[in-house]
Amino acid sequence: MVERDLARRGVDTARTRGASYADVRFVRRAVEDAFVKNGHLDTIDRTDTFGFGVRVVADGAWGFAASQLVTPAEVDRVAALAVEIAKASATCKQRDAVLAPVQAQTGTYRTTIGIDPFAVPFEDRVGLLLAAEGAMRTVKGLRTTRANYEIWREDKLFISSEGADLEQTLYECGCGISAEAVGDGELQVRSYPAAGGRTQNQAGWEFVTKWDLVAHAPRVAEEAVALLTAKPCPQDVRTTVVIGDAQLMLQVHESCGHPIELDRALGTEAAFAGTSFLTTDRLGTFRYGSDKVNMRIDSTSPGGLGTFGWDDEGVPASEGWAVKDGIFVGYLMSRETAAALGKPSNGTMRADGWARLPLIRMTNVSLMPGDAGTLDDLIADTDDGIYMETNRSWSIDDKRLNFQFGTQIGWEITGGKLGAMLRNPTYTGITPEFWGSCDAVCSPSEWKMWGTPNCGKGQPGQVGHTGHGAAPARFRNVRVGVVR
Amino acid sequence: MSAELWTEAELRRICDRALRECDGDQAEALVLASTNELTRFANNVIHQNVASREAALQIRVVVGKRVGMVTTNDLGEDGIARAAKGASEVARAVPENPVFGGLGGAQPIPPSPSAFVDATASATPMDRATRVERLLRAARERKLTAAGYLSTGANEVAVANTGGVWGYSPSTLAAIEAVVTGDAGSAWAERSATDVRAIDIDAVTREAVEKCAAAQGPRDLAPGTYEVVLEPYAVADIAQFLGSVLTGQAVEEGRSFVGGKLGQKVTGEITFVDDPFDPASVPMPFDFEGQPSRTVELIAGGVAKAVVYDRQTALRTGGANTGHGLPPNPFASSQPFHLRIEPGTKTRDELIRDVDRGVLVTRFHYTRWVHQLRTIVTGMTRDGTFLIERGEVAHPVKNFRFTQSYHDALAGTLGIGKDLHLFAGGTFSFGARRVPAVRLAQFAFTGATQY
């Protein structure tokens, strides 16, 4: 394999130039995105990118350089540049970079898929979107209708100066539909299966067909139109809230996934994403939520966007607890941050392609199911409150304490039954108080693995793909309603 | 290292080769190339320090009303040919897009000021480290902690089509962001410029360090509606959100607050202009479809005047193409790339002096639409929020959550700063904005956090 030879050459060049550690990643990514809008195929783009990045420690500090020109001379230039950059970093260092040890790994990993999405006839892929989008437009009163899919394949090679030699092939598929209705100063949207255009998993085309977009399209469209005249969400009240799993997975992402990133807790993301209220002195003792709240870090979960054989530092996939019985017990770690705590890395470093440095990213951070039965059971068990579903708006402070979410739709819950539809629902709170008010999580039958293929972090910016399992859950005494 | 440009000749070769290999009625080749380096610091050390050289070719092929697109970064002869063949095949396989109006023809591109500065393109890792160290040393001396980045680099845009369009625009950008944190409070400073020599590292250091000292020990202040002075960092966010819906597409889709309101008052006395030729911005005289960009007065003295267009939206809706087309994508077809809020007459300190009781906001954090049509946005204040009493900054306050219609807030414009601040690049933003500080009569803080 030419890339392997070049990767080894890059490692050797970096070492010769003075690097005490070096790794080289080659990444080839193929993505196809198709979007149908208002009855026609709006855009279809097939993107193929290929290149390599060299990461080094020299003079005790970090350097990274990347290029898409795959030649021996360019590998030499980029490896030398990475070392030059590291030596510039070293002029400001206060101590040498230390990496937690890892047993050098060799091997291959491949996502288990049913149907290769790139092998599905093109007309079948686009045809599914046209059918689903067309089924929404049977409903009158819509302004904009959309349907989309993404199919994704990434081939990665990782070679390090410690002897790692790892090849991985990851597949992803995602899809979604949405309908927008406009009228009388209102703009309302409904989407399916999730917000943000689509949900995504590591899977084959079977992941797209399983959602049966066509069958759900009329309901999605009808709800968008109905929301225009629905009752406004109650304003600035405290009430019980039941949150659907497609929304709750984003709550997990923002209020658990990000604050358990150890780089944030140690201050290295302070300028952009921020830090974390889950400081290292709180590890193992801080009450994050009620004893109903269990959050798991698991890069082995089938389907999760954070599933792999090894992370981009060559650390094997792992599983463990972030929150156990409500207590904060685990971080997402890199080799360097783990060393700061005297721990081994749990393998969460991932880069957005070849041109970016690996960062600590959520793998699959999931709210584990409880024992509250089905969603219907949970609503039947709730006397008074609001059921909220599908994200519309999200924001959280830079320590991940104060959050505010809006959902696309809500319904009153009265006497254990869903009542009137509510428009512009929002809820807000402080993270540990909110999770502390959780008194019920639905059972495994309601638990799904969701995917967020759009998590931003780092400078220069990187987009990460993260997985979050969740089941609907209930929260007491939540502040609701800020949109008048 | 000096940034090794892809160069006009090389990008022309790539585009020409792509167009020759396409099989369709029309074809377009767009190359976005960059050579960027970024030195990132935190905890008073450089902890990430990166460089990348990237270029991607996006080929669009049109067959009747069918459009296929392929993007590749394999810019060798075979790679380009493969991508062109792929785009041609897609264009023959997809269903017709009945509203597609074809690619634009060649139009004269007006001259514009250069946005390229050699000193920025040739900055080295050691140049950046030396500048960063001055900031870090100042933070260490005050027992404060600095985090942020200093970046330098060059970007090149080249676009060609079979109708004779050719545009090439090189630009450079240097940017620094710094958050300086003490035991109980933080502050922010940020600068962007096409010329790295225009970034005064000592001024950035002074601003962040001095404000950080003032920000220590924030007190509780009850959420509510307050008069505010927003520093340019916060105003840039307002400009970005409102700019994103001052487009023909947003009006067409019923998402814009100016939809059906052109000629009507939509804000207070404030003026938004998109000026692709602004020499103090990052000028570029054509858009990503190779069409000439026009200066567009979007809001004049609070009256909605116009929105920007790309070619397809203009054809579809009967508007005039203003040359603000983005690279083809399904989310947004156009954007004001060079937004400017026209300056007022007051200094920042004079704006504060006019406030009897209000809040001074340094910047916003994690802002998101709550209701796009009503321009309601939620987010947090961050890195320096202060109570103003009787024209003076009284003391720092804990950060607020706000939930506020941005254009409604501008309806209460009481004052506009005379100094404009350039925001370009940014971690996930696109385009450039030049904005002043503003004083607004009302801003709704709907919650608070614990610090």
Measured between CB atoms, does A86 come within 8 Å of chain B? yes
Among the partner-chain residues B41, B370, B428, the one whose CB lies closest to the CB of A406 is B370
Beta-strand runs (E) in B318-412: 338-341, 357-371, 376-389, 392-396, 400-405
- Residue A372, min C-alpha distance to chain B (Å): 31
B397 and B274 inside one domain: yes
Please judge whether A398 and B43 are an interchain contact, meaning their C-beta atoms are less than 8 angstroms apart: no
Cα gap B13→B33, rounded to integer Å? 14
pTM above 0.90, yes or no: yes
**Residue B3 located in a structural domain:** no
Please judge whether A88 and B71 are an interchain contact, meaning their C-beta atoms are less than 8 angstroms apart: no
B169 and B288 inside one domain: no
**Residue B237 located in a structural domain:** yes
Determine the average pLDDT of the residues in A410-415.
98
- CATH of residue B128's domain is 3.30.2290.10
pLDDT higher than 90, residue A442: yes
Residues of chain B with Cβ-Cβ distance to A483 below 8 Å are 370-371, 376, 403
Q: Are A458 and A359 in contact (CB under 8 A)?
A: yes
Q: Which domain holds residue B198?
A: 8-211
Percentage of chain B beyond pLDDT 90 is 96
B73 and B166 inside one domain: yes
Please judge whether A44 and B43 are an interchain contact, meaning their C-beta atoms are less than 8 angstroms apart: no
B148 and B290 inside one domain: no
Pairing of strands A295-298, A237-243: unpaired
pLDDT at A184: 87
Chain B's closest residue to A481, CA to CA, is B446
The 10s digit of each residue's pLDDT in A58-109 is: 999 999 999 999 999 999 999 999 999 999 999 999 999 999 999 999 999 9
Examine the fold and report which residue of B161, B179, B211 is the final residue of a domain before the chain moves on: B211
B293 and B196 inside one domain: no
Chain B residues 240-259 with CB within 8 Å of chain A: 253-255
pLDDT at B1: 43
pLDDT band for B3, please (50, 70, 90 cuts): low
B202 and B255 inside one domain: no
**Residue B15 located in a structural domain:** yes
B233 and B206 inside one domain: no
B425 and B375 inside one domain: yes
Please judge whether B448 and A402 are an interchain contact, meaning their C-beta atoms are less than 8 angstroms apart: yes
Q: Chains A, B: CB contacts under 8 A, how many? A: 270
**Ordered DSSP codes for B290-325:** SPBP--EEEEETTEE---B--HHHHHHHT----S-B
pLDDT higher than 60, residue B275: yes
The 10s digit of each residue's pLDDT in B294-328 is: 999 999 999 999 999 999 999 999 999 999 999 99
Please judge whether B43 and A84 are an interchain contact, meaning their C-beta atoms are less than 8 angstroms apart: no
C-alpha distances in Å from residue A101, one per residue of A264, A313, A336, A345: 21, 11, 9, 8
Determine the average pLDDT of the residues in A103-117.
97
**Residue B386 located in a structural domain:** yes
The more confident residue out of A425 and A482 is A425
B143 and B194 inside one domain: yes
**Residue B1 located in a structural domain:** no
**Residue B130 located in a structural domain:** yes
**Residue B20 located in a structural domain:** yes
Structural domain count, chain B: 2
Cα gap A447→A443, rounded to integer Å? 7
Please judge whether B46 and A93 are an interchain contact, meaning their C-beta atoms are less than 8 angstroms apart: yes
CATH entry 3.30.420.130 includes domain A2-229: no
Examine the fold and report which residue of B211, B243, B268 is the final residue of a domain before the chain moves on: B211
pLDDT at A1: 63
B58 and B207 inside one domain: yes
Measured between CB atoms, does A51 come within 8 Å of chain B? yes
Measured between CB atoms, does B398 come within 8 Å of chain A? no
**Residue B2 located in a structural domain:** no
The 10s digit of each residue's pLDDT in B388-438 is: 999 999 999 999 999 999 999 999 999 999 999 999 976 556 689 999 999
B182 and B222 inside one domain: no
The 10s digit of each residue's pLDDT in A178-228 is: 999 999 899 999 999 999 789 999 999 999 999 999 999 999 999 999 999
Q: Tokens 């409102």 sit at which residue?
A: B242
- Residue A16, min C-alpha distance to chain B (Å): 19
Q: What residue spans define the domains of chain A?
A: 2-229, 232-480
Locate A90 and state its tokens.
Answer: 């070293």
Measured between CB atoms, does A41 come within 8 Å of chain B? yes
B190 and B119 inside one domain: yes
The 10s digit of each residue's pLDDT in B223-232 is: 999 999 999 9
Which of B30, B40, B70, B183 has the highest number of chain A CBs within 10 A, making it the mutation to test binding with A? B40
The 10s digit of each residue's pLDDT in B188-220 is: 999 999 999 999 999 999 999 999 999 999 999
Please judge whether A404 and B328 are an interchain contact, meaning their C-beta atoms are less than 8 angstroms apart: no
ipTM of the complex: 0.96
Examine the fold and report which residue of B167, B185, B211 is the final residue of a domain before the chain moves on: B211
The 10s digit of each residue's pLDDT in A317-344 is: 999 999 999 999 999 999 999 999 999 9
pLDDT band for B164, please (50, 70, 90 cuts): very high
